[in-house]
Amino acid sequence: MFSLGKLTQKGSRTLDVGWVIDPAREASFIWDAPHKLTRPEGRINHAKGISNCPAISDHESRLVEVTCPIDIKLRFFRDAQGNPSMAAIDGDQSTIRPQQFSQMVMAVHPNEWRDPQRPVIQVMTPLFFVSDEPVWLTQMPAFYHRASPQLPGIMMGGRFPIHVWPRELVWAFEWHDINADLIIKRGDPWFYLNFETENPARHVRLVEAEMTDDLRAYTIGMRGVTNYVSRTFSLFGTARSRRPKKLLKPKKP
C-alpha cells in the first residue's frame, strides 16, 4: 500500500515535481520543456510598485508555462444537415498534415458540451507531471499573454492530484464566438500550471523525469478510463493501492 504520509519531507523548503514528455509518442521533439513563467516586463524601483508586491511576486514565481507545439488555425461551421464540424483555415499551406492534426485535435460530441451553442475541442498532449509527495496540479489559461487575434472562447481548466493520477494533459477549449476563427501560433504561451502542496509555503522544483517501466505501467492503468466510467476521481483508491512507492526518477544529465 502506498502511504502518502511517509513520503512527506516536512523539513524541505522545496518539493520535486517531475515532468515527462512521453518518448513513445510520435514527434515528441515538437514539445518544448515546461518552464517557470518569465516575469512580465515593466519593473520599477518604486517601493509601492506592483513589481514589489509580495503577493503578486509569490503568485507569479509559482506559475509554470507550457507553449503550443503546433500552429492551430481552425474555423467552425455546420454542414448541410446542421452537424457541427471544423476545418483548417490554411488548407494546403498548413504546417501540419491533416492526418496528424486529426489525431491530435479532437472535437467533443455535442451531447457532451456544457452549452448547445458552444462547441468544445480537445488537443491531446504527451506531457504529464508526477510527484512522490502529495501535490495537486491546476491547469489554467495563459492569462498574462494577450493573444492576437483574440481567442474566440475560453480554455477549460482542471485540477487533480499528480501523486495519485499522473495523467497526460489535455488542452480543452470552449468555442463561444463560432463566427470567429481559432488561431494559436506554435511557440505561443498556451496554458499555465500551478502546483499545490500540503504546506502552502513550499515551492516546487521542476525536474525532467525518466519514463521508467513502473511509471509507464502505472499511467497505462489510468489511460482511457473516461471511456468506461464517468467519475474518474472514484478510481483514486484503486490507483493508490497499486502505486509503486517511487515513481519519480530524475533524468540523468
Domains and CATH numbers, the chain: 4-38+58-242 (2.70.40.10)
Q: Return the H-helix or E-strand segment holding 97.
A: none
Answer yes or no: are the C-beta atoms of 113 and 120 closer than 8 Å: yes
pTM of the model: 0.89
3-state helix, strand, coil in the chain (%, to 5): 20, 30, 45
Close Cβ partners of 29 (under 8 Å, ≥ 6 residues apart):
none
Answer yes or no: are the C-beta atoms of 71 and 184 closer than 8 Å: yes
If you write DSSP's letter for every residue of 109-137 in order, what string do you get? PGGG-SSTTS-EEEEE-SEEEE-SS-EEE
What is the β-pairing status of strands 84-88 and 170-175? unpaired
**pLDDT for 44:** 67
Close Cβ partners of 176 (under 8 Å, ≥ 6 residues apart):
118, 152, 153, 154
d(CA 190, CA 186): 9
Grid cell locating 13: 523548503
Q: Return the H-helix or E-strand segment holding 194.
A: strand 189-197
The pLDDT profile of the chain, 253 residues, written as one tens digit per residue, is: 444 444 444 557 899 999 999 998 888 999 999 999 987 666 667 766 777 788 988 999 999 999 999 999 999 988 888 888 888 888 777 788 888 888 889 999 999 999 999 999 999 999 999 999 999 999 999 999 999 999 999 999 999 999 999 999 999 999 999 999 999 999 999 999 999 999 999 999 999 999 999 999 999 999 889 889 888 899 999 999 999 999 999 998 8
